[in-house]
Amino acid sequence: MNSYLSFQIHGGADHGGGIIETVSELLTFFEGLTAQGPGGFSQAILPGIAGMSNIHPLLVHFPIALLTLFFIVDMSGTLGGKAQWRQTASFLLYSGTLAATFTVLAGFAAADTVAHGENVHEIMERHEHLGISILSLAAGLSAWRLKHHGVLTGAGNVLFLLLSALLCLILAFGADLGGLMVYQYGVAVKPGAAIANFGEAGQSHHHTEELPDNVF
């Protein structure tokens, strides 16, 4: 199924056929899609998502990006006296809190369905606690912001920004533990053919491309 996605993903250096081969493989890809059912269609278009056992890894990027950007924009708006920037920061905060809600719920579902050993269980528990802390703090900041109609000044704003910085710090710790579980312990990672081939052949894939003689 995933062979339909092979068209020139690494560029001409891997295939050598240039644009003609690229177009040919692209047409073959679309032709193959027409013969697939709904399940096969999703597998061909989004094979990564189709192969996921849960959607937590897909959702987790949104609160990290939105809440981190919220703090940057809000701090910049405060220091620069930009009221419109702070309004944008409010939108980012509310969106990030909503994204964190779905991410935490998906994380609970993932913890109950993903197989893991005792060496990972403690890390997963800490990851969950940090996720709950992130959601709670983001929800509290959102409620505080809404109560004051997005306008905070003086000592209250200083405390708000300090809590926002703490939120970003907890986000970093939570993301670090998530990465540790995946990349160090392989939680929810299926053994791939590329890894198996690497072990059998004892070599990895390298990109090489000959440069024209007149480049330099």
d(CA 116, CA 182): 11
pLDDT digits (tens, 9 = 90+) for 107-130: 998 887 776 677 888 999 999 999
Which residues lie below 8 Å from residue 83, measured CB to CB, with a gap of 6+? 77
Average confidence (pLDDT) over 154-180: 96
Average confidence (pLDDT) over 87-91: 96
Backbone angles phi, psi at 81, to 5 degrees: 65, 35
Banded pLDDT at 102 (limits 50, 70, 90): very high
- Backbone φ/ψ region at 186: left (φ over 0), alpha (ψ -120 to 50), beta: left
pLDDT digits (tens, 9 = 90+) for 20-66: 777 767 667 666 656 665 555 555 566 666 666 778 888 999 999 99
What's the confidence (pLDDT) of residue 142? 97
The answer to whether 73 touches 89, Cβ cutoff 8 Å, is yes
Fill in the DSSP letter of residue 19.
Answer: H
Question: 189: buried, middle or exposed (CB in 10 Å: 19+, 13-18, 0-12)?
Answer: middle
d(CA 205, CA 208): 10
What's the confidence (pLDDT) of residue 211? 53
- Give pTM, 2 decimals: 0.70
What's the confidence (pLDDT) of residue 37? 58
Tally of CA atoms within 13 A in the half-sphere of 126 that contains its CB: 16
Average confidence (pLDDT) over 2-8: 46
What's the confidence (pLDDT) of residue 119? 80
* Mean pLDDT of the residues in the chain: 79
The answer to whether 82 touches 75, Cβ cutoff 8 Å, is no
**pLDDT over 70 at 206, yes or no:** no
Average confidence (pLDDT) over 198-206: 52
**pLDDT over 90 at 150, yes or no:** no
- Determine the length of the chain: 216
Closest CA to 70 of 57, 84, 85: 85
